[in-house]
Amino acid sequence: MSEQGDIDSITRSHLPVLRDEVLRLLAPRDGGVYVDVTLGRGGHAEAILEASAPGGRLIGIDRDETAIAEARARLARFGERVSFVHAPFSSLREELVSAGAPHVDGLVADLGVSSPQLDDAARGFSFKSEGPLDMRMDASRGETARELIASLDERELADVLFQYGEERKSRPIARSIKRAELDGRLETTLDLSRAIWRVTGPRRAGIDPATRSFQALRIVVNAELAELEALLASLPDVLADDGVAAIISFHSLEDRAVKHTLRDEPRLEVLGKKPIEASDDEARTNPRSRSAKLRGARRRPRANDAEVSS
């Protein structure tokens, strides 16, 4: 396929979740400065760059180098209005200072893994296709899922599955995984799926029973909750006065952290009483949007900081 063909298929195949709702919250304007801390294939970034033409600027951050390369190709037409940073969003503050934009008018975070990460069996995120037991978003550093499992005893593994996957059968599943490891049958994603299915049985209706355990391991491999806490803590510093953050989460652990931090931070004003969810239309056409919850918050002017802290 030609390079243009690749770009076309990227554009066609990726639907950014709650795109219009994010734009409504951020209200991008010409001359504004924006950051997308989960760039992925650049769907939200593209929408923000279009809406802030001709002079809006966007910094795109992702910890996955493959995502940065794909977004770079997709967003090439915006020239110098867009810049790219390969980093985790826990280092947002420093990255924005390095980019010469310590305060931004809008921030979007679309949490979790992307469809290309899930679809590429070699990344090890999918319980449906054979791949190495990896699950790292940043494939250049850190511990793989295989190494994580090896470092945990059965009880610790069960705790991970329960705490981060809300898996009620965490103990027998952990036992089955550890047994597979001992027997030398735990090298690939499907080995892991089979160890889970031996306890739960195969999928009958609804979500596959392996989903929860894969989610739990992925969250720990990528320190997703610690990353999210760091991002949320940095919001009052990185948002300009009246700047807006729009955060999309996909499971209750994430949404709880977002909801509580935004609510308890006096320098932020929560926008809307309830999280924004996908319309029936979007949920039909984009299955990923079904569990999405979008929450927004606005930075109160810094002149009032002394007031809110007293």
Ligand X SMILES: C[S@@+](CC[C@H](N)C(=O)[O-])C[C@H]1O[C@@H](n2cnc3c(N)ncnc32)[C@H](O)[C@@H]1O
The contact set with ligand X (CB under 6 A) reads 14, 16, 38, 40-44, 61-64, 67, 88-89, 110, 112, 114, 137, 227
Residue 299 beta carbon to ligand X: minimum distance, rounded to whole angstroms:
21
Q: Which is nearer to ligand X, 230 or 271 (CB)?
A: 230
Residue 63 beta carbon to ligand X: minimum distance, rounded to whole angstroms:
4
Q: Which is nearer to ligand X, 125 or 162 (CB)?
A: 125
How far is Cα 35 from Cα 53, in angstroms, rounded to an integer?
Answer: 15
Residue 201 beta carbon to ligand X: minimum distance, rounded to whole angstroms:
30
Q: Which is nearer to ligand X, 116 or 198 (CB)?
A: 116
Q: What is the DSSP letter of 137?
A: S
Residue 44 beta carbon to ligand X: minimum distance, rounded to whole angstroms:
4
Which residue from 289, 267, 286, 297 is spatially nearest to 107, judged by alpha carbons? 297
Sole residue written with tokens 């929560």: 270
Q: Which is nearer to ligand X, 52 or 114 (CB)?
A: 114
Q: Is the peptide bond before 54 cis (omega within 30 degrees of 0)?
A: yes
Q: Which is nearer to ligand X, 38 or 261 (CB)?
A: 38
Residue 296 beta carbon to ligand X: minimum distance, rounded to whole angstroms:
16
Q: Which is nearer to ligand X, 16 or 124 (CB)?
A: 16
Q: Are 80 and 52 in contact (CB under 8 A)?
A: no
Q: What is the DSSP letter of 132?
A: B
Q: Are 22 and 47 in contact (CB under 8 A)?
A: yes
Element (H, E) at 228: helix 224-238
Note every long-range contact of 253-260, with CB atoms under 8 Å and residues 24 or more positions apart, other chains counting.
253/164, 253/219, 253/225, 254/111, 254/112, 254/224, 254/225, 254/228, 255/293, 255/295, 257/225, 257/228, 257/229, 257/232, 258/228, 258/232, 258/293, 258/295, 259/295
Residue 159 beta carbon to ligand X: minimum distance, rounded to whole angstroms:
23
